Amino acid sequence: MAMYQLAVLRVRDEVLQAMYWMHSEAISTMPTAKELSRFLAVPETVLVPYLDRFVEDGLLEADAAAFYWLSPIGMETGKRTFADEMADLTRPTHGECDADCWCHDSPEAAADCLHERTGKAHSS
């Protein structure tokens, strides 16, 4: 039973992240199970019971034509898990400064900041 619950959580996160991304990028706001199965590389027959469970859980909504869309709760959950998943790709890397760093004040400040962070002066 616990292994099944872990699978549900893993699939839930994958589905909600994918649907959030598809919605945000205007790829599809109401994908079918077939479209989601192709996108997630999961057989449709395996995915549909999960999708139906997520409808029951209030994360997704569906119609009789088998289109699925994120409920408001599903949208928030998908957004949060997508952001968590992508956090390592979007944060500044070691030695990089962030958007409010003082180095954005002037080219001289940028050179000083670079020198401070790396110990090297920028050479052009």
pLDDT mean over 8-23: 93
CA atoms within 13 A of residue 44's CA, in its CB half-sphere: 8
Q: Identify whether 81 is part of a domain.
A: yes
Confidence of residue 88 (pLDDT cuts 50, 70, 90): low
Distances (CA, A) of 60 to 2, 3, 70, 74, 97: 23, 23, 5, 6, 39
Q: Identify whether 102 is part of a domain.
A: no
Distances (CA, A) of 9 to 2, 32, 56: 11, 21, 14
Q: What is the pLDDT of residue 122?
A: 45
Q: Is the pLDDT of residue 124 over 50?
A: no
Q: At what angle do helices 44-56 and 2-24 cross, to 10 degrees?
A: 90
Q: Is the pLDDT of residue 118 over 50?
A: yes
Kindly report, residue by residue over 99-115, the tens digit of the pLDDT: 667 676 766 776 777 66
Strand partners, 67: 32
Kindly report, residue by residue over 20-50, the tens digit of the pLDDT: 999 999 999 999 999 999 999 999 999 999 9
Q: Identify whether 109 is part of a domain.
A: no
Taking Cα atoms as reference points, which of 28, 19, 14 lies closest to residue 85?
14
Q: How many CB atoms lie within 10 A of CB 112?
A: 15
pLDDT mean over 89-95: 55
Q: What is the pLDDT of residue 102?
A: 66
Kindly report, residue by residue over 51-78, the tens digit of the pLDDT: 999 999 999 999 988 899 999 999 999 9
Domain count, the chain: 1
Q: Check which CATH number belongs to the domain holding 63 and give it.
A: 1.10.10.10
**7: domain range?**
2-90
Q: Identify whether 15 is part of a domain.
A: yes
Q: What is the pTM of this model?
A: 0.68
